[in-house]
């Protein structure tokens, strides 16, 4: 099969690499976002997908706005591809582009559609405390992740999984599922299934405000926000920003829903000997300092252990090192009230 691959970030790399190596496919061209200035030095840097494509001597196309690039559209038509494969490309394809390939445009989306349509399905599935997610391949249409579904593959979500962990898992899963999808589509062995729109949920672009921690939420809600928007969730401490990058909820949430053993939780909980420890604590107040683990913070419902943090201008450190280095005391406050 003659393939044109559309993708930009690291998430799309395993899919491109899998197609490049597979004997059933010939990647005729790779379409990716233009090079951008990245990092502290603001050096012009190619996308992860472009680096792989260049090493493989693929034709690389980088239109600033593909819908308004008639020359690129004509190049795509001239390739006479069997299918376009789209994985986290970052631009919307026009109907004229969608109609070019013989078998259509196949997208791999990081959720079990119709749940979490949109730009950030991995992050929002964690934020909402889902215990399962996966990848759905679909034939693209003019809508946002609304096309008919082809194949699905599901994976469990662990209590301590972050967006980075889950992205790695789903990117590998996407690569395998795309191979099966393309072969079955070419053989006429898969029937596109319309999405039940009434069951759709959405995963919009993440906004800066989504990173701010509100200690008046429950411990499990804060934990899910921190791992979902990893590594960017921030609170205030002593007038400066403090990123919280890893936590463990100690509240009475439903632990039976999580498939893995919570050995760490079993070890820590007995050290919090009194349920009254947080009875009169304010949300955001440090109520305990566990020597081997770090500070424990009161929330509106349950306690949250801070197992990894990143103070402003410093490297990430364990909660225990943070407690020692900052000379934390029980009664110290996190959040706007503390700034």
Binding residues: 111-114
Contact 3, 27 (CB under 8 A): yes
- Which of 69, 61, 71, 1 has its CA nearest to residue 34? 61
One-letter-per-residue 3-state SS of the chain: CEEEEEECCHHHHHHHHHHHHCCCCEEEEEECCCCEEECCCCEEECCHHHHHHHHCCCCEECCCCHHHCHHHHHHHHHHCCCEEEEECCCCCCCHHHHCCCCCCEEEEECCCCCCCECCCHHHHHHHCCCCEEEEEEEECCCCCCCCCEEEEEEEECCCCCCHHHHHHHHHHHHHHHHHHHHHHHHHCCCCCECCCHHHCCECCCCCHHHHECCCCCEHHHHHHHHHHCCCCCEEEECCEEEEEEEEEECCCCCHHHCCCCCHHHHHHHHHCCCHHHHCCCCCCEEEEEECCCEEEEECCECEEEEEEEEECCCCCEEHHHHHHHCCCCCCCECCHHHC
Distance CA 304, CA 80 (A): 56
Whole-angstrom Cα distance, residue 250 to residue 223? 10
Residues annotated as binding site for (6S)-5,6,7,8-tetrahydrofolate?
A: 111-114
Cα 209 to Cα 97, 107, 162, 225, 229, distances in angstroms: 35, 30, 19, 12, 11
């Amino acid at each position: 099969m003659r393939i044109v691959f559309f993708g930009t970030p690291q998430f799309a790399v395993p899919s491109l690499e899998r197609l490049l190596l597979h004997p059933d496919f010939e990647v005729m061209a790779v379409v990716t976002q233009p090079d951008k200035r990245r990092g502290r030095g603001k050096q012009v840097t190619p996308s992860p997908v472009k680096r792989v494509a260049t090493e493989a001597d693929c034709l690389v196309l980088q239109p600033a706005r593909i819908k308004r690039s008639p020359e690129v559209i004509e190049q795509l038509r001239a390739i006479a591809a069997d299918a376009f494969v789209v994985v986290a490309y970052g631009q919307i394809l026009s109907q004229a582009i969608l109609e070019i390939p013989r078998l259509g445009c196949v997208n791999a989306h990081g959720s079990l559609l119709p749940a979490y349509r949109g730009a950030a399905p991995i992050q929002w599935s964690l934020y909402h405390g889902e215990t399962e997610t996966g990848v759905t391949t679909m034939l693209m249409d003019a809508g946002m992740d609304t096309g008919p579904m082809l194949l699905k593959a599901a994976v469990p979500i662990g209590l301590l999984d972050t967006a980075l962990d889950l992205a790695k898992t789903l990117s590998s899963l996407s690569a395998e599922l795309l191979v099966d999808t393309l072969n079955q589509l070419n053989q006429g062995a898969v029937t596109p299934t319309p999405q039940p729109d009434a069951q759709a949920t959405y995963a919009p672009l993440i906004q800066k405000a989504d990173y701010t921690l509100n200690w008046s939420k429950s411990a499990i809600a804060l934990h899910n926000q921190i791992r979902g928007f990893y590594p960017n969730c921030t609170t205030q401490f002593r007038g400066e920003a403090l990123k919280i990058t890893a936590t463990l909820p100690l509240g009475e949430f439903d632990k039976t829903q999580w498939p893995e053993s919570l050995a760490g939780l079993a070890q820590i909980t007995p050290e919090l000997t009194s349920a009254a420890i947080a009875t009169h604590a304010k949300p955001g107040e440090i109520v305990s300092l566990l020597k081997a683990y770090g500070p424990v913070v009161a929330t509106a419902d349950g306690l949250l252990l801070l197992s990894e943090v990143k103070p402003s201008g410093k490297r990430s450190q364990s909660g225990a090192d943070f407690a020692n280095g900052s000379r934390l005391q029980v009664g110290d406050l996190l959040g706007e009230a503390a700034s």
